[in-house]
Structure 1
Amino acid sequence: MSRPFTTEDLRRWEAHAVPAWVYKGVLVVGWAVAFGYSITTTTGCTSATPCYPDPWLSVFAAALLATPFLLWREPVVGCALGAGFGLAEVLSESHEGIRLAFGLHGLACALVALWLVEARREQHRVFGRISTPTVVPHAAPVRFTGRTVAALLMLVVGGLALVKYVVDSSDLAEHAAAAVPVSATVVAVGDLDVTVELPSSRQTFAVLAPESYSVGMSVPVLVDGSWAELVAEPEDVTFPLTVMSLTLGMAVFLRMRDVAGRRAWQRVRSTPSASVEVLVRADPRGRAVLHTVDGTPFGSIPVTGAFDDDRMLAVGDLSYGGWVVLVTADRVLLPNRPLRPFHRVLPRFDDPGEELLGVALETPPLPFPVPPHRRDVVAGRWLFAAAVFLTAGAATLNGPVVLTALWTAGTCAVAGWVRGRPSAVFHQHHAAVRSWLRTYHVPWSEVTSIRRDGDRLVLELDSGARFTLAPSGRPVAELGAIARRLHDTAPHGDELTSRFGGALPVVAIFALVAGAVLWFT
């Protein structure tokens, strides 16, 4: 019988963990400072010292863009990428300030990476002292190959990006070899471009340093028929290398994760492995949240298949970043990723809270939108403002940073829409409950419980479905009384259905806006 994992064991085990604010806060802020400094630092480009495109910088830019995301999701990998990019900048960057900024950030990432690795070893040692060897006799569970398929698709995209770079660079080299130098006159200087007058035409070029140009200035230009480029700033066709690096890196990451999960299962099958008994509960997204046997949450992992809340054996490498297999009396739950910290207390569905039995004397005019809480309305407006600001900023930028800005803007737009809109609309015979991408038609006749969960109203159906509304500007008891009256007067015979809705229109509109920005930039 395996030893129960108690709160006292957790205290000793977590004493070696790296605080999340170190990599999610300090390192991410440091990355933002270094990145912001690098893109706002002006670099003069002249015909004597041209700003040549750097293919290797485009390759390493993938590591730069992925670093903040991975610091949140996979801190060891994120620290490794941050350290690697910092080293590359120290060795290749000519600007002293940029070299110093990324060098210091890379050094910090390297130190935190070592700290994370050592913390995991210490947690593994503590786990080894309190665990019991266990052999898992069950047959291998079914594994999905979604990650492998995604990795193959990423390889295809990366290969196509490489082909595009080779074709574009070859075409550019042919033009440059056949071109003749001519003198052109600058007739207009924009925020990120200049327009020059050639002997036979007028052309506009995107530039990195518009402050290096002035109207009336004479600049050398290479011309080959209708093709032309500035001598000081040759055309940059290296962006496909960034796409290639991102997709190939993601393909390798997905494949390595799939292999690591399989090996974790093979280890616990082939040899006795360390194990402890933990309480496992499902969070709203279906992930397995590991608790001590006395109920303290400490980690989460998504697993293959659904499960019931119960005590299970945690077998394998119980450490943050380690692979943990969950074993019950009759089945095995294989992890889809390593264990991550999780300390939020889950709602107790076996403790449903206060049942709201009050009935409103009359209903408000229908349909009745459940008003969102004021803090959500304010947050939604700020998120929309951030989305507009980021989209406008993306329209003035070039290169990989445009994708990062648009992705962040889209996330802000969708989150702002969801938070600022009513989470449900009460109708005479049903409630229309909105989620991110769907709207659910919830018949009042199917509702079996109307209760309070903190500042939220919860509707439970006879089928077992549960809908939790977002906090509202109206008291929960008042909303419950309205819902109770509509429930008592609703006819029978309707059923639960759903359709696409929610924030889907915002997603579609923003996709068009993002496409337009990418097209024109």
Structure 2
Amino acid sequence: MPDPVRLPTGPLADGVPGWRGADAAAWAAAGPGRWARPLWSVLALLVTVVVAIVVEPVPVCGDATPCGPDWYGLVQTALAIGLLHWNARLPELTLVAAPTVAVLVVAGYFTEPGVASGGAFGEVSVVSVAANAAVVAALALGWAAALARLTARRRQRLLFARTSGATTFPSAAVTAGLPRRSAYPLAAGLLLCALAVAATLLGLRGVHADEDRAARATRTEAVVAHRTDTSLTLRTEDGRRIVVDALYPGDQRLGSTVTVLEDGGWRRLVAEPYDAVGWQLLALVTGLTGISLTGTGLRALRRSLALRRGDLPALRVFQAVDGEGRATLHATDDTALRMPLTVFTWDLFFPYGEDEEEAPEEDAEEDELGEGNEPGEGDGEDEFTLVSLRETVMFGVPYEGAPVVFLVPALDRELAAVVAPAVVQPLWSGARVSGSGCSATG
């Protein structure tokens, strides 16, 4: 193990105590369990939703069951897609969205005529019910995992404040010069949400205009004489032959009777009202992206305010950095590096110490030989190869998703230390924490 790169003395480093191993272990144990890992809830929801879509009976467009725009299904689909992202990145949204989708799924089962009643789709109704139940179970798993993660955050905050023994520094002395970027995703998210609302209103206006015209139109019954991929040729009772555009011509059998609405040169099937699918897709894409960006922007704003408001607790820790820039965080008395606390990837400065400029070449040679410089050992294994060990000062209260700032030894010989912000993630998340800016102290 290389000797740690020590922090030089300075106003932000002097007198800062180390994070004791026992306190750090208790903090790590207070984190969320492995069952709450977002990967499981994301995979469960993805698989169950796909299966539910595949086994769901497809309704046939008819005069009694017209295929109009499905706003109910749009909301359900949008939230289900959004949860694939929110389960991993925005558990706060999951707490609201998951129960909403579950209610929509259950309500949809009781209101779907072919599934709930067993009617024309009675043979597959049991499969559909089982698929919907699996979706609800996946939603429950995601909701419970999100609640566990948010509860663990509060537990870790309280435990850190009670046991860490950290000193405090004015936030202005630490965060001066760091960028503030929360406004960009927040503004973009609000703009996209406004576009989604506009698309929804335009779609609803088209639906209402179609309904008003249909109410004034003349109803004519006709027999299907011919059909193409986009239209139906009909024969009316008075012997006329008319052609009507159709979105689902395959739903109408040759020789069957359909009802046509006519208003001058305008005509359509009663079974196929105005389809606002274009506006619905626009609302879906912009709405999902807008909600996610707005949530991300609000979270970034909250993190920025947390770092810049009041005093910041400070503790001395170690960062063990590998050749790819990943760094595990350790307590100061964890000299054997047996208890990593979090994982980081620094993108804004080179991860090697000043006296280790040849480390990449040496590390490459070790990778070719295997561990211990013996041919063949370690081949095919993905192990943490230690390149440098840094003494750092961590400012802020750590928990999953928390904003923290690190004071690390600078690589530039003209500077003493570099201040870089990051976000805490649990080890099981597999996520890498990237700095979003840095400032230097001389």
Structure 2 counterpart of 1:158, which letter? A
Residue 19 of structure 1, CA deviation: 1.7
* Deviation digits for residues 302-330 of structure 1 (CA, Å, limit 9, x no counterpart): 78954656433333341223333334475
Residue 237 of structure 1, CA deviation: 0.7
Helix, strand or coil at the partner of 1:324: strand
Would the aligned equivalents of 1:17 and 1:123 in 2 still touch at CA under 8 Å? no
* Counterpart position of 2:386: none
Matches within 5 A, 1:305-454: 305-306=348-349, 308=351, 310-328=390-408, 330-335=417-422, 339=425, 341=427
* Deviation digits for residues 16-74 of structure 1 (CA, Å, limit 9, x no counterpart): 42326753125532442234323532134432343443324323421122222333444
Equivalent-residue separation in structure 1 for 2:93 and 2:55 (angstroms): 27
Helix, strand or coil at the partner of 1:201: strand
Structure 2 counterpart of 1:132, which letter? A
Identity %, equivalent residues: 18
* Deviation digits for residues 326-366 of structure 1 (CA, Å, limit 9, x no counterpart): 3447554334x6635467799xxxxxxxxxxxxxxxxxxxx
Is 2:19 the partner of 1:4? yes
Is 2:188 the partner of 1:150? yes
* Counterpart position of 1:108: 141
TM-score by length of 1: 0.54
* Counterpart position of 2:48: 33
Structure 1 counterpart of 2:421, which letter? L
Among 261, 265, 269, the residue aligned to 2:300: 261
Would the aligned equivalents of 2:37 and 2:428 in 1 still touch at CA under 8 Å? no
Equivalent-residue separation in structure 2 for 1:111 and 1:105 (angstroms): 10
Would the aligned equivalents of 2:397 and 2:404 in 1 still touch at CA under 8 Å? yes
Helix, strand or coil at the partner of 1:291: strand
Structure 1 counterpart of 2:86, which letter? L
Residue 141 of structure 1, CA deviation: 1.5
Among 69, 79, 85, the residue aligned to 2:85: 69
Change (3 A) 1:263 1:281: farther
Q: Which structure would you say has the larger RCO, counting Cα contacts within 8 Å and 6 or more residues apart?
A: 2
TM-score by length of 2: 0.62
Helix, strand or coil at the partner of 1:321: coil
* Deviation digits for residues 246-291 of structure 1 (CA, Å, limit 9, x no counterpart): 53453344344334334434334433344443444778997x7442
Is 2:177 the partner of 1:162? no
Change (3 A) 1:16 1:285: same
The alignment of Structure 1 onto Structure 2 pairs a total of residues equal to 341
* Counterpart position of 1:401: none
* Counterpart position of 1:130: 164
Is 2:74 the partner of 1:58? yes
Is 2:256 the partner of 1:217? yes
Which structure has the larger Rg?
2
Residue 88 of structure 1, CA deviation: 2.6
Structure 2 counterpart of 1:125, which letter? L
* Counterpart position of 1:271: 310
Change (3 A) 1:283 1:59: farther
Helix, strand or coil at the partner of 2:400: coil
Would the aligned equivalents of 1:220 and 1:230 in 2 still touch at CA under 8 Å? yes
Is 2:150 the partner of 1:117? yes
Matches within 5 A, 1:283-298: 289-293=327-331, 294=334, 295=337, 298=341
Equivalent-residue separation in structure 2 for 1:246 and 1:338 (angstroms): 30
* Counterpart position of 1:430: none
Moved over 6 A (4+): 281-286, 301-304, 343-346
Would the aligned equivalents of 2:36 and 2:148 in 1 still touch at CA under 8 Å? no
Helix, strand or coil at the partner of 2:155: helix
* Counterpart position of 2:370: none
Equivalent-residue separation in structure 1 for 2:91 and 2:309 (angstroms): 30
Residue 9 of structure 1, CA deviation: 2.7
Change (3 A) 1:219 1:149: same
Residue 292 of structure 1, CA deviation: 1.7
Change (3 A) 1:26 1:274: same
Helix, strand or coil at the partner of 1:334: strand
* Counterpart position of 1:177: 215
Structure 1 counterpart of 2:98, which letter? G
Change (3 A) 1:259 1:280: farther
Structure 1 counterpart of 2:206, which letter? D
Equivalent-residue separation in structure 1 for 2:327 and 2:104 (angstroms): 39
Would the aligned equivalents of 2:313 and 2:395 in 1 still touch at CA under 8 Å? yes
* Counterpart position of 2:274: 235
Would the aligned equivalents of 2:23 and 2:164 in 1 still touch at CA under 8 Å? no
Change (3 A) 1:304 1:168: farther
* Deviation digits for residues 408-441 of structure 1 (CA, Å, limit 9, x no counterpart): xxxxxxxxxxxxxxxxxxxxxxxxxxxxxxxxxx
Equivalent-residue separation in structure 1 for 2:276 and 2:55 (angstroms): 22
CA RMSD, aligned part only? 4.1
Change (3 A) 1:258 1:66: closer
Change (3 A) 1:266 1:153: closer
Helix, strand or coil at the partner of 1:151: helix
Unaligned runs of 5+ in 2: 1-15, 117-128, 353-389, 409-415, 433-442
Unaligned runs of 5+ in 1: 347-521
Structure 2 counterpart of 1:173, which letter? E
Helix, strand or coil at the partner of 2:79: helix
Residue 298 of structure 1, CA deviation: 4.6
